Structure 1
Amino acid sequence: MTDTHASAFRTSACRTLDLEQQAIAALSAQLDADFDRACQLMLDCRGRVVVTGMGKSGHIAGKIAATLASTGTPAFFVHPGEASHGDLGMITRGDVVLALSNSGETSEVTALLPLLKRMGTPLISMTGRPGSTLARHAEAHLNATVAREACPLDLAPTSSTTAALALGDALAVALLEARGFTAEEFALSHPGGSLGRRLLLKVGDLMHQGSRLPQVPLGSPLRDALLEITRQGLGFTCVVDEQGLLAGVYTDGDLRRTLDQYADLRPLSVDDVMTRPGKRIGAEVLAAEAVRVMEDNRITALAVVDDQGRPVGALHMHDLLTSGVI
């Protein structure tokens, strides 16, 4: 491949990206009161938002439905051709229909208009022609007009589908904010992914507890603390006082410092060399927060304590790695 060809490829790509960027930028000026009405119709919907579209608009409609569903607005996609042959039964009176068609005249979509009107199902349209059939019969019309397609023939849906996708995202985010949708709620619809693990898993779900909790009492010989660290294999041990409260921790890092400072370890107790009061975290804290604490303090393990400050578990960076939190 010659440099000339490579340059031509990049020139074409840049032209496409510029045209699509312009199409998205123009959407802000096209937003009007109909966008507010569309949002309110969706917020007031007692059923689900049914998104439909044909061809390339159908692909965009499917993505918009998925984005709405994952951000707090129950939604699903219905193919308009299938709707006319039985799938219209999936739409109820309590639903709202969002129909996409760049021309606003797509026959498979406009064929649904009499049926939706008869059912009393509110219609929101998203088209590139505000005067089209679909736009005129909708309770709210979202103007997705673009100056031209990025395709040099001005034929293939490119800028228009990009604009529709962006407008769909704008709808979803506006509704998300209006509902006060939280990160935890988002994670509930993504439990299988790394995002869900980061947002749903708590320290208590991952910590070592019971016999796997490394701890020694205050006054213990340093040798006992080292044996406990070795036995549990977490790189540290909790040191507890007479009331069972966490007094401090002794870590692999503390051991290196001890070796630098003392020629003879035999007379030392753990009290002499432990870190007070030691980094700690609660069992109900999100595991993602434990990652931040470890990274900020450059440590690889944390003592987990209850409300009174008693050790109830131990968390190691390896646990966060294997669980997929990081």
Structure 2
Amino acid sequence: MHSLISDSISLQIGALQNMQHQLTPTQSEALTTLIRHQTGQIIFAGIGKSGHIAKKIASSIKSLGINATYLHASEAMHGDIGPLNHHDLAFLISNSGETTEILALQSQLKHRHIPIVTLTRNHSNSVAMQADLNLIAGSSIEADPHNILPTSSTTCALVMGDAITIAIANYHAFSKNIFAHNHPHGNLGLHALKPIKTQLKSVPIIDIATPLQQVLSQLLCGHQGCVLVGSQQQLQGLITEGDLNRAISHNPEHWQHIPAKEIMSANPVTLDDSHTVHDAEQLMQQHNINTIVIVYHNNTQHISGVYTRIYRKKI
């Protein structure tokens, strides 16, 4: 059984690698051009398992705040094609490229002068040959022993669909903040847009002359991974566990008496408390740090607290 499972994974990885190798810079540029010219809806259509993939991709694009829809190829022939026009951009998914419903839908889309991108397993099928752009996004070899279950083919379609989603996101200058706004009840939305001041804990504040032996004691008592240097009204520096560990390793015999001012970061990264958790996360990523000192928006020297990756894990 292990061999069967492992082999199925290997077959799907192989299908993805083959798909990647067949994607050319010219195709990527053509896709970018079609995305740039689209001003209406972005449509994804499929039948069966391909339909499920199309529905997922359309849903992902919606989360970008972009007008996208899933179109059932059969239902389209019974009225759902009505609102579509030449401002739209359609993506049709069919592994074989010979699916009757997809061919019928493609014909109707062409009559409406709607640009069409197809996702199929080769460039020689009927759907691909009538498309404005065909992308290899399927496989002739499925991952089951009988080569009949939609596995490698749907994996390829999903991965290519996600790549298309990323290309669309990039063109529309998508951001994590937009995603959070569009997911107000999701985990990201619930937390990323919270005011940063609601996520803070107080940390010990020490004097610049405090010896490191006492700094260690404060770090152990605070359990926040850092201490601040100065006063509540006057931020002078920050000492993290990493700072203290480095000081001890460099001065193993005399570290206890070194004053805090000699190892503190005199200009720690700060953020005022009018910002959100998302803002803090972006700033931490930008500076490659684990701790941000939060100050009051009307007094950037007055300490409100700290936001660290320790807190993020608790959110």
- After TM superposition, is the score higher than 0.5? yes
Task: Report the alpha carbon displacement of residue 111 of structure 1 after superposing the two structures with TM.
Answer: 1.4
Percent of aligned pairs sharing the same letter = 29
Matches within 5 A, 1:36-115: 36-71=29-64, 73-115=66-108
Contact 2:46/2:102 (8 A) holds in 1:
yes
For 1:101 and 1:182, how far apart are their aligned partners in 2?
31
Task: Report the alpha carbon displacement of residue 20 of structure 1 after superposing the two structures with TM.
Answer: 0.5
Contact 1:127/1:141 (8 A) holds in 2:
yes
Seen in structure 2, the aligned counterparts of structure 1 residues 72 and 66 have a Cα distance that, compared at 3 Å, is same
Question: Residue 15 of structure 1 corresponds to which residue in structure 2?
Answer: 7
Q: Are positions 1:306 and 2:297 aligned together?
A: yes
Task: Report the alpha carbon displacement of residue 19 of structure 1 after superposing the two structures with TM.
Answer: 0.6
Seen in structure 2, the aligned counterparts of structure 1 residues 307 and 85 have a Cα distance that, compared at 3 Å, is same
Task: Report the alpha carbon displacement of residue 65 of structure 1 after superposing the two structures with TM.
Answer: 1.5
Seen in structure 2, the aligned counterparts of structure 1 residues 280 and 54 have a Cα distance that, compared at 3 Å, is closer
Matches within 5 A, 1:27-42: 27-32=19-24, 33-42=26-35
**Paired letter, 2:270:** I
Contact 2:119/2:135 (8 A) holds in 1:
yes
**Paired letter, 1:163:** C
Task: Report the alpha carbon displacement of residue 167 of structure 1 after superposing the two structures with TM.
Answer: 1.3
For 1:116 and 1:172, how far apart are their aligned partners in 2?
21
CA deviation vs aligned residue, 1:254-288 (integer Å, no higher than 9, x gap): xxxxxxx9xxxxxxxxxxxxx99897832236343
**Paired letter, 2:169:** L
Contact 1:190/1:196 (8 A) holds in 2:
yes
Question: Residue 270 of structure 1 corresponds to which residue in structure 2?
Answer: none
CA deviation vs aligned residue, 1:215-249 (integer Å, no higher than 9, x gap): 9xxxxxxxxxxxxxxxxxx9x999768xx655789
For 2:34 and 2:6, how far apart are their aligned partners in 1?
38
For 2:121 and 2:143, how far apart are their aligned partners in 1?
15
**Paired letter, 1:281:** T
Contact 2:294/2:307 (8 A) holds in 1:
no
Contact 2:41/2:89 (8 A) holds in 1:
yes
**SS at 2:78 equivalent:** coil
**Paired letter, 1:63:** K
For 1:280 and 1:307, how far apart are their aligned partners in 2?
17
TM-score (norm 1): 0.67
Q: Are positions 1:155 and 2:148 aligned together?
A: yes
Matches within 5 A, 1:162-173: 162-173=155-166
Contact 2:86/2:113 (8 A) holds in 1:
yes
Query: Tell me, which stretches of 5 or more residues in structure 2 are unaligned?
Result: 206-223, 239-256, 258-263
For 1:45 and 1:175, how far apart are their aligned partners in 2?
10
**SS at 1:104 equivalent:** coil
Matches within 5 A, 1:134-153: 134-153=127-146
Which of 1 and 2 has greater Rg? 1
Contact 2:121/2:140 (8 A) holds in 1:
no
The one of 256, 260, 270 equivalent to 1:281 is: 270
Query: Tell me, which stretches of 5 or more residues in structure 1 are unaligned?
Result: 1-8, 216-233, 250-260, 262-274
**Paired letter, 2:134:** H
**Paired letter, 1:165:** L
Seen in structure 2, the aligned counterparts of structure 1 residues 319 and 173 have a Cα distance that, compared at 3 Å, is closer
Matches within 5 A, 1:197-216: 197=190, 199-204=192-197, 206=199
**SS at 2:87 equivalent:** coil
Task: Report the alpha carbon displacement of residue 200 of structure 1 after superposing the two structures with TM.
Answer: 3.2
**SS at 2:33 equivalent:** helix
Question: Residue 227 of structure 1 corresponds to which residue in structure 2?
Answer: none
Seen in structure 2, the aligned counterparts of structure 1 residues 207 and 102 have a Cα distance that, compared at 3 Å, is same
Contact 1:35/1:141 (8 A) holds in 2:
no
**Paired letter, 1:152:** P
Q: Are positions 1:190 and 2:179 aligned together?
A: no
Question: Residue 116 of structure 1 corresponds to which residue in structure 2?
Answer: 109
Contact 1:203/1:282 (8 A) holds in 2:
no
Aligned pairs, number: 285
Contact 1:187/1:200 (8 A) holds in 2:
yes
Q: Are positions 1:177 and 2:170 aligned together?
A: yes
For 1:35 and 1:302, how far apart are their aligned partners in 2?
43
